[in-house]
Structures are given as C-alpha cells and as structure tokens.
Structure 1
Amino acid sequence: MVNPPPKNTRKSNQRSPSLKGVSMARLAALNLIEDVMGKGLPLQESIARSREYDALDARDRRFCRRIISLTLRHHGEASAILAPHLNRPPKGKNRKAGFVLMMAVTEMIMGGGEPHAVVDQSVRLVKAVELAHLGGLTNAVLRKIAAEAETLKARPADAWANLPTWLARAIRADWPDQADAVAASLMMTPPLDLSLKNTGGD
C-alpha cells in the first residue's frame, strides 16, 4: 500500500497573531505560487501537500485557485507593470515579497479585484511571512499601480510576455500565421465541464 505524500508543514499554517486579518486563501496561494515559480514544483503536487489549502472551505479554495491561475498565466505582464516601480525585483529571502506583488497586480488588473482591499491584504501578507521590512515598499508600489489601474486595464493584453522563450519560439515556428491567436489562447482559463458521463445505465 502506497502511503499518501506528507502534508506541507509550513510554520505559516500556525495561526499566530501575525496572521490576524490575513486572507488564508491568499496565504495558501502565495505559498503554492512560491512552490511552482520559485522551486519548480508541480502545482497539483504542492496542493496535495499543503495543509493551508486543505484547511480552506470550498469558497476559499476557489478563490485561492483563481489567484494562482491569474498569477501563473499573467506573471510576465505583471512583472512589466511592476518594473518601473522597482529598482530591482526582491531576491533571496525577500523573493516572496515579489510573488506578493505579482499576485496583487494580476488580481487588480487582470482579475478586477478592488484595489484598496488588494493593497491592504498584500501589506498584511508580507508582514505575515516575516517580511515586515518590505511592508512600506509593498504599500507604496501597489498604491501607485492602483492609481493607474483603469489605464492599465485598458492596455492590450500581451500574451507573449507570459510565455517562456522556448515555448514562444515553438509557437512562432509551428504556427507562423496564427501565432498571436495561439499565444492568446494559452492565457484563457479552460472551461469547466460539469456534464455527466453516460455510464450505460438508465
């Protein structure tokens, strides 16, 4: 009998005072995005090991997955929006703050999130993951972006910015005439099929 993979035992799963007012769905999303983008782990494997995700109710799980999907699909565009406001992206131990910023931008600009709430939660989030020294930076950068939100939303989407170089080259080589359409299709959330399968019974 194969034992199930052990659950992720991050310290952040402990509800300490630093998590007061923090969206647990956003915290779970942040740690899962870090697993995928920072450590190269498969998303489904990380979800299966995450106690934070496991503790969410159905509504929060949907929100968590939405944040993850937005961030992974639009991370290149988010990085381009953030670039003018950062001397350099947070690195090393501070890299997690970069993922918080990326999540916030995709939620505000691509996901239609309410700017004030997104900024507030993002500041709380960096403090919750022991990056309080970047709380001011997070607040300042996201407030500037929030002020430009309507203009940024009106900009044409740039699907190519979100694709790895190898994939962009392959698309242009294989579908030279439909490359833009193919790239754009990869940014779309797949439809959820809830149809019942015919099992042969009445």
Structure 2
Amino acid sequence: MTQAVSNARHVAFDLLADVLDRRRLLDEATTANTAFSALDSRDRAFVRRLVATTLRRLGQVDAILATFVTKSPPKAIRHLLRLGATQLLFLETPPHAAIATSVELSRVLKLDGLSGLINAVLRRIDRDGRAMVAAQDAARLDIPGWMYESWEGYYGAGTAHAVASACLEEAPLDLTVAADPASWAGRLDARLLPTGSLRRHGGDVTALDGFAEGGWWVQDAAAALPARLLGDVAGREIADLCAAPGGKTLQLAAAGARVTAVDLSRKRLERVRENLGRQRLSAEVVAADVASWQPERLFDAVLLDAPCSATGTLRRHPDGLHLKSAPEVTKLAGVQARLLRAAAALVRPGGTLVYCVCSLQPEESEPQIATLLSEGAPFVREPVRPEEVGGLDELITPQGDLRTLPCHLAELGGLDAFYACRLRRSA
C-alpha cells in the first residue's frame, strides 16, 4: 500500500466525520480540507466517490454492520467500518486492499486496540455482505423515513419508490451550451438529450474541449429547463433572483437577454462573475436580499430559483440525506412564500414570472403557487407545452407545471428533480 493511498483514506475518514458528526456540507468540507487539495486528481476522485457512496448507501451499510457488531462502537470505529464496507460492497475494491487499509488507518488514528475488530468484521462482510445487499430494499433503508413518507404521500407508493431508487445512483455530467449543441455533442463525445442538454459520464471538466473558451457550462438537464420557459428573451429585461451560482444567468445572457442577477451572498456572486467572464457574457450583478430589493424598474420577466431543501439533487449531493430535516423544509417554505410575493411585485403588466425549486418536497412546490394566487396576485398560470421540454409529456403536471423526477429519463441516466410554474401577469 502506498503512502498516497493511505492518505486518501485518511482524508475520506475526515470528510465523512465532517458531514456526519459536524454536519458540514460535503462540498464545503472538501474545499476546506487542505489534505484533500494536496492529493493528485486520481486520489481526489477516489476520495470523493468513496465518501459520496458511503453517504448514499449509509442505511444499507449500517444495517449490515448491525448484524456483525452487536454493541455500538465509538464513532471513529463506526466510520472506519462504514468506509471499509462501502469499498467491499459498492466500489468493488479488492478485499485485501479494503481490509488492510482500514486496519492500517485504525493504527494511524491510534485505535490499535480495535484493529482486530475491524479486521474480523470486514472479513465477514466480504464473505456474506453481498448476499445481504441483494436482499435489501435499498430505497427504504437509504432514504430518511420522513423524506420517503412525504414522497409516498404526494407521488404515490410506486413513484416514490422509483424516485428513491433513482436518488441512490450517481448522476451523469450534464452540460449546457451557448449555441450549436449538436456540434458540441460530437466534440465532447456527449449525448444530446431531448431537452437540449448534453450528457457525458465522468471526465475532468477542466480538461474537456471548450472549457477554456467558454463554449459550455456544467448544469443538470433539469436545471436548464426553467430558464427556457421564458421563451425568446433576446433584448428583454430579465431579473434572475437567487441567481448564484449562475447557470440560469448564463443561459439568459447567452440568449441575448439583459440580465440582472440578484443574490444575497456576495461570495457566491463572485462565482457568478467568474462564470460570466469565462463565457464572455455580461450581466448586471447585484448583492441584495430579494425579499426587500426595490429596483427602479419593473422587468419583462422574473425567474425566481428559490432557496429550498434541494432534495431534488440528492444524486449529486448525498450529504443531503443526513443534513436535511422536516422542520427545515417547513421553515424554507415560509421563506419561499415571502420571496415569491417579492418577485411577483417586480413583473411588469403582461410580463412573466417563473418560480422554481430543485426539491421533491410537496410544500415547496404547487402550494406556493396556490397561496400566491389565493392572495389575489394578478397572475394566471401559463401551462408548459410539451415542445418546450423536448416533447416529454411526463415532465408536465396536470396543472401545466414542470415537474422533473430522478426516475424520468431513467434509461439515459435520470434527471435532478425540479418544480417550476410559469405565471403571466394580467395586463
């Protein structure tokens, strides 16, 4: 075993503890971890995959560990066992490597007295664990009960199980191009999806053709749809609210809109500016609280990508399985209602308002629109048409709103979950 591999697993241990013990977002933890940054690209990819898979499959892993460990071990030992079991059961790491490195790491962490336990448990998992995985209902074990039950009550049992199962798969790499997607598909060895996005599986983004010249940007195929609901935006005044990290701002600017990108976080707006610069696009960038922002003019269209629970992005951010809670969703729903009222006030008569969230939670979607309209806001729904979403009728709700689910386009790798509603202000 090389020192680099040992370091990689030590970093994975630290990141897992950051998420589960210190309740830190995985992206924030990796950014702050200098040892992670010091690894070479191959080891960074391994660490990221190991930690993400452990978080994604934690319910299954813990159920198996409970069979072999009758007493609750210290947190450090539990994390070591989780990482070792994940390698054996889900990453196809050679058993000798997964077990030996776990035992060695226990010694590095000065847990020598328990290295025998780690060795024995992982050997039993190597022998019996795969058969146990085959008998598990992964969707019910890995998705928190409150989350799964909310999906089941809203989408029905069959769809909820399909959604949960899809959330446990790694998401592919989706790209939005400024122009000529068919040509870029060939250059990037990517598949052109019906919705217009490009899809690849893996690869170092910065090394791909066109990254430096700004021909495209990373954006899930579902996340690219709400901005397209605004139609032809060339020359129109558009406010992109809660805009960071800026994917929708880039879409609108590339389509010729005069965009004002607004976000509360100055730090996150720096990323918007960086992305605009790389794409050689321009937009007005404003640091402000959308709920109280009072510009001097109204807009032809307003896109509100409201802060939400982000349960629709669990494929990419499995830490959300362990960091989200039902009370947080309730709190966020209140924030969304306030922001939606503020956004509605910024739309000129005859203009368009699109509200969207990357969430699977019911209270963050249709009820927000129902409340706005029941309060007398001068808007009417403008239903989404199939041709606006690549002809995929299944992405449109009976009310005419956009609703993508992780199990949609399953044969092509699925989608993030997004809800969007388009409203037209009365003239």
| TM-score of the pair, normalised by structure 1 | 0.81
Relative to structure 1, the CA distance from residue 132 to residue 86 in structure 2 (aligned partners, 3 Å threshold; closer, same or farther) is same
Work out whether 1:77 is the aligned partner of 2:60.
yes
Residue 171 of structure 2 corresponds to: 190
Change (3 A) 1:172 1:96: same
Letter matched to residue 193 of structure 1? D
Alignment of 1:11-90 (within 5 A): 23-90=6-73
Instruction: Say if 1:125 and 1:194 are closer, same or farther in 2 by CA, change over 3 A.
Output: farther
Deviates more, 1:162-171 or 1:28-37: 162-171
Name the CA distance, whole Å, in 2 between partners of 1:114 and 1:143.
Answer: 12
Higher mean C-alpha deviation, range 153-162 or range 173-182: 153-162
Question: Please, which moves more after superposition, 133-142 or 169-178?
Answer: 169-178
* Change beyond 3 A, Cα 1:197–1:89: farther
Provide the rounded CA distance (Å) in 2 between the counterparts of 1:76 and 1:185.
15
- Asked if the contact 1:21/1:124 (under 8 Å) is kept, the reply is no
Which structure has greater helix proportion?
Answer: 1
C-alpha separation between the residues in 2 aligned to 1:195 and 1:112? 32
Note the C-alpha offset of 1:72.
Answer: 0.5
Give, in angstroms, the shift of residue 181 of structure 1. Answer: 0.3
Q: Name the structure 2 match of 1:172.
A: 152
CA RMSD of aligned residues (A): 2.1
Question: SS at 2:172's partner residue?
Answer: coil
1:144 and 2:127 correspond: no
Deviations 1:138-183 (A, max 9, x none): 0011111111244245435512111122211111111113111011
Q: C-alpha displacement at 1:21, in angstroms?
A: 7.9
In structure 2, relative to structure 1, the CA distance for the partners of 1:173 and 1:58 (3 Å cut) is same
SS at match of 2:51: helix
Contact 1:108–1:115 (CA under 8 A) maintained in structure 2: yes
Higher relative contact order (CA 8 A, sep 6+): 1
**What does the per-residue CA deviation read over 1:77-124, in whole Å, with 9 as the maximum and x for residues that have no partner?**
00011111112222xxx3111011111111111121211110101101
Count of residues in correspondence between the two structures: 180
Name the counterpart of 2:346: none
Q: Which residue in the other structure is 2:85 paired with? A: 105
Aligned-pair identity (%) = 32
Structure of higher CA gyration radius: 2
Q: Which runs of 5+ in 1 are unaligned?
A: 1-18
Matched, 1:134 2:119: no
Paired position in structure 2 for 1:181 = 162
Tell me what 1:15 maps to: none
**What does the per-residue CA deviation read over 1:16-58, in whole Å, with 9 as the maximum and x for residues that have no partner?**
xxx9686211111110010001111111111111011011000
Q: Return structure 1 stretches of 4+ with deviation > 3 angstroms.
A: 19-22, 152-157, 194-201
**Structure whose residues are more often strand by fraction:** 2
- How far apart are 1:196 and its partner, in Å? 5.2
Does the 8 Å contact 1:25/1:53 carry over to 2? Answer: yes
Tell me, which stretches of 5 or more residues in structure 2 are unaligned? 180-214, 216-253, 255-278, 280-427
